[in-house]
Structure 1
Amino acid sequence: MSEIKNRLTTTAGAPMPTNEHSQTAGPRGPLLLQDYQLLEKLAHQNRERIPERAVHANGWGLEGIFTVTHDITRYTRAKLFSEIGKTTDVLSRWSTVAGEQGAADAERDVRGFSLKFYTEEGNWDMVGNNTPVFFVRDAYKFPDFIRTQKRHPKTNLRSPEAMFDFWAAQPESVHQVTILMSDRGIPVNPSHMNGYGSHTFSFWNADGERFWVKLHFKTQQGHAHHTNAEAERLIGKTRENYQEDLYNMVNEGRFPKWTLFLQVMPEREAETVPYNPFDVTKVWPHADYPLIEVGELEMNRIPENYFQMVENAAYSPSNVVPGIGFSPDKMLQARIFSYADAHRYRLGTHYEALPANAPKAADVNHYHKDGSMRFFRNDTGNPDAYYEPNQYENAPVADPSVQEPPLTISGDADRYGNAQDVDDYTQPRALFNLFDDGQKQRLYENYAAAMGPVSKPVKERWYAVLAKVSAEYEAGVRAANDALDSDVNAVPVTDDTPVPAE
């Protein structure tokens, strides 16, 4: 008998003589409790699933590479941008916001656009969307907002009533909702959409100078989107067209690519611009802060194991490296905590040691210890150095050279969050005015489809918001709703939105 080169074993490493039948007490007898491998297989199957993400549960991912094409070292000391031609491995995940795992890919929704850069100084996570803005500017309202996008506690159905009722009470949402209801609400697949950091971040250079930045990943494949009718027909054929498209593209060598651009604002200018540059419901005018090219993102590898690399991927805005920092954006400040905490709950205490999240090039030295699933060494090389400060040679210590420069924003911190005179209508008005007649008509019809089940009082509240943007906008949406029979089953809107034309 030839020697078996790759023997089947138990999880403890013992070779298995058979993997065909349960052990029984005779041909017709009951199963034996001693059949430990049967018990192991059944017990493991019961535990193969982990909690899905509370939002962005339905997603797709690829591995790839980022290449620097332009010098931005005057803005940041981050080593991944240190020289032209430098490459960094990247893990991507795109997602819809509202749908659970198994939801249809081609829903009208905002798409998540997240990238994990495995830099030599640790992981940098760019956790964004396919839109440059968001629905609310204060994270205090984020849990309420997400509840309106998920299922009603009694009907267990999506609730357009809740969505528009909430949006009507938060007029800053009209910018994002306008994008959501526009042509860009249903991208053909992730390769045909942009990605944005959405928030304002900070870059700081080797001289300690800080710059506020906006991140734009522009698709090189061009924008392509489905109408509601096209999406309905597609979902009737497949609910997984994004996964199919991405797999086929990479398998055929048609690697999707994006170009990274920055908008850059000198730190002190944040105090003089006529708008709040840290309000995530607003964009920065490109005429004032033009796009600066940085590099190219190419996603060119299919993960060998989706669960290991995509489902276990844990993205968080808190993952930054020297040269990249935060801003007073209230939504960003809250996400710094909430994302990492979600991963601690969903994946476990040591989630960042999993293969998808473990830094590739940096030495990882910290004093976290013990906890569930501590599957790696429980010290930093010296078992006596399990706290800090300590007297032991080569024990990890902090590096003052990577200290971020202090913020220089002066004045009342509430200036960046609680001002009562915020203009929430000029930017969505400018976006609406960019649409041609065909785009406007489709916008109106998308609203009608989404608002069909919504009560008349809530519709009126939303019309009042639209009227402040544009009388034409309000009239068009009202007319489209009036033309739609109230008994027609509308396509439910999911959680977020498309990208405005730039």
Structure 2
Amino acid sequence: MSDPQARKPTLTTRQGHPVHNNQQQRTVGSRGPATLENYHFLEKISHFDRERIPERVVHARGFVAHGEFEAYGTIGDEPASTYTRAKLFQSRGKKTPVSVRFSTVIGGRDSSEATRDPRGFAVKFRTDDGNWDLVGNNLPVFFIRDAIKFPDVIHALKPDPVTFRQEPNRIFDFMSHTPESMHMLTWLFSPRGIPANYRRQDGFGVNTYRMVNAAGEGVLVKYHWKSQQGIESLTEEQAAAIQATELGHASKDLYEAIERGDCPSWQLNVQIMSDDEHPELDFDPLDDTKTWPEDVFPLRPVGMMTLNRNVGNVHNENEQIAFGTGVLVDGLEFSDDKMLVGRTFSYSDTQRYRVGPNYLQLPVNAPRPDVQVNTNQDGGQMSYRVDNRGGNPHVNFEPSSVAGLAEADESYREYRPHVSGQLVRAPIERQNNYAQAGERFRTMPDWERDDLVKNMVKLLGQCDKHIQEKMVWHFSQCDEAYGRRVAEGLGLAVSA
């Protein structure tokens, strides 16, 4: 009988040196002490000490799957080229590889996936022109509309720095001073705040972007992912039953579905609006605490995304995958959305801190192999290759009359919106903080509305009375019945 050990590859160090003894350190005698020149041990233990990169401040718990996006070649009933010159949308049947990371927001890396929390819905398209990241959530709005408040809202939602638990009093203290959060809270504390799993949830870009066509004409756009598996949510009781025995039920569900060939899919739709201030609306279209009414700005199908391959290694493809709202391709641009501009700096900055300045050299973050990367960037931690510089390694600057890289052809039409005004620190004029929250409350099915009220009463019941009263006042501005029902649950009188 052949020896199974003889068929195994030889264990080596990262230097490629064969390891002859992986059981004992080199010591002075069998009892020790150990010597400092145990290179294999030092390499092995020092790598072990660094096996975990810093946890994401938000979206720490997540799961990645890979697949493809297939374009319809149209946006609604019109050719895609009417609105954008982005290559991935232009022809029917064109397929683009994608990687998607679903996640919770507030909990740590090993927290429960059955908690009440927004779900991240981040998609990396590996297009002909390089990567495009569409980084959104499973809910269509956000808590705040100005990025300067992002650290505050996350601090309020994160564990108390003293007790290290999520404290309702902290959460609602902040929200009671942030009236634009009422719309998001109404979504989050309904059953939509706990999706049954990652496959049975929609996704939203949340922020407003622009599409630009070959003529340099631009429109405002919002992105929507529609689950082809349908929407399914959990009540607090259902979520608690899952959490009692399983912290990663949503990751498990997605992994197993793909493994058995039940590949989930989502249709990408867009809403389109002309790029101006739209004074006829009672809200600002750049406000990420608002949705655009679908009867006025209908959903237009663009293509279908299918996830059909699981990760091969969680660390390499989940922990190290990096998304950013600034990762756009030609034909897709930012809008003037104040929250979006702040996210665009923050997301890529956090990746440079977590994964390192060369995080884009990692295979999970790099563009497709057929998309050449030509830069003059160099050095930094964990740099393991030099980007193409035009064939002359001595020239790492531009312009040069000797060699190096040249600027891209500028023959395309650049979109140039006109911007004017004083430099101010001011809120947007059309805030209308309560109308859409009230509309959402009124259009919920009865059982979702009952669940929303019950959840609000449960958590607000742990808050100081003045915070309860302030939140009830906000809910009453959204809808009289909303405020009254929460107040009754708390034993409070409703003030006009």
Letter in 1 for 2:60: A
1:463 equivalenced with 2:472 (yes/no): yes
Give the whole-Å Cα distance in 2 for the aligned partners of 1:294 and 1:106. 31
Cα pair 1:322 1:404 within 8 Å, conserved: no
> CA contact under 8 A between 2:221 and 2:272: conserved in structure 1?
yes
Which of 367, 384, 388 is matched with 2:394 structurally?
384
Of 399, 424, 436, which aligns to 1:427? 436
Q: Which residue of 2 aligns with 1:448?
A: 457
Larger relative CO (CA 8 A, sep 6+): 1 or 2? 1
Report what 1:498 is aligned to: none
Q: Given that residues 181 and 447 in structure 1 are in contact (C-alpha distance below 8 angstroms), is that contact kept between their aligned partners in structure 2?
A: yes
User: What is the deviation of 1:233?
Assistant: 1.1
Distance 2:381 2:413 in 1: 32
Match of 2:37 among 34, 38, 41: 34
Q: Residue 57 of structure 1 corresponds to which residue in structure 2?
A: 60
1:10, distance to aligned residue in structure 2 (A): 1.0
RMSD of aligned C-alpha atoms?
2.0
Q: 1:379·1:385 contact (CA, 8 Å) conserved in 2?
A: no
Give, in angstroms, the shift of residue 269 of structure 1.
Answer: 6.5
Q: Give the 5 Å matches for 1:264-413.
A: 264-268=272-276, 270=278, 273-360=281-368, 361-377=370-386, 380=389, 381-393=391-403, 395-401=405-411, 404-408=414-418
Question: 2:143 aligns to what SS in structure 1?
Answer: coil
1:434 deviates by 0.3
Deviations 1:139-174 (A, max 9, x none): 111111111011212212212111111111111100
Give the aligned residue type for 2:292: W
Q: 2:448 aligns with which of 439, 449, 452?
A: 439
Return the match for 1:47 from 30, 33, 50.
50
Query: Which digits, 9 at most, give the CA deviation of each residue in 1:197-245, with x for residues without a partner?
Result: 0011000011111011000000011111111011111111111111111
Secondary structure of 2:182's aligned partner: helix
Unaligned runs of 5+ in 1: 484-502
**Mean alpha-carbon deviation: is it higher for 33-42 or for 294-303?**
33-42
CA distance, structure 2, for counterparts of residue 413 and residue 111 of structure 1: 35
- 1:118 to 2:126 alignment: yes
Contact 2:284 2:430 in 1 (8 A): no
Q: Name the CA shift for 1:409/1:275 in 2 (closer, same or farther; >3 Å).
A: farther
> How does the TM-score come out when normalised to structure 1?
0.92
Q: Deviations over 1:341-373 (max 9, x none)?
A: 111111111111111110113211112122222
The number of equivalent residue pairs is 482
Cα distance in 1 for residues equivalent to 2:288 and 2:423: 16
Q: What TM-score results when the alignment is normalised by the length of structure 2?
A: 0.93
Identity of aligned residues (%): 39
Match of 2:177 among 165, 169, 173: 169
Instruction: Tell me: CA distance 1:64–1:379, structure 2 relative to 1, closer, same or farther (3 Å).
Output: closer
Provide the rounded CA distance (Å) in 1 between the counterparts of 2:32 and 2:172.
Answer: 62
Deviations 1:417-454 (A, max 9, x none): 72345211111111111023322211111112222321
1:171 to 1:269, Cα distance in 2 relative to 1, 3 A: closer
* Cα pair 1:322 1:402 within 8 Å, conserved: no
CA distance in structure 1 between the aligned counterparts of 2:434 and 2:279, rounded to whole angstroms: 22
Which of 197, 202, 222 is the aligned partner of 1:189? 197
Cα deviation digits, residues 353-409 of structure 1 (max 9, x gap)? 111110113211112122222211266131222111111345242332356311135
Is 1:22 the equivalent of 2:25?
Answer: yes
Give secondary structure in 2 for the equivalent of 1:237: coil
The change in CA–CA distance for 1:404 and 1:450 in structure 2 (over 3 A counts) is farther
Indicate if the aligned counterparts of 1:198 and 1:214 stay in contact, CA closer than 8 A: yes
Give a deviation string over 1:61-118, Cα, whole Å, max 9, x none. 1111100124122111111112110001111111111101101110001111000001
Say whether residues 1:475 and 2:478 are aligned partners. no
What letter is aligned with 2:37? Answer: Q
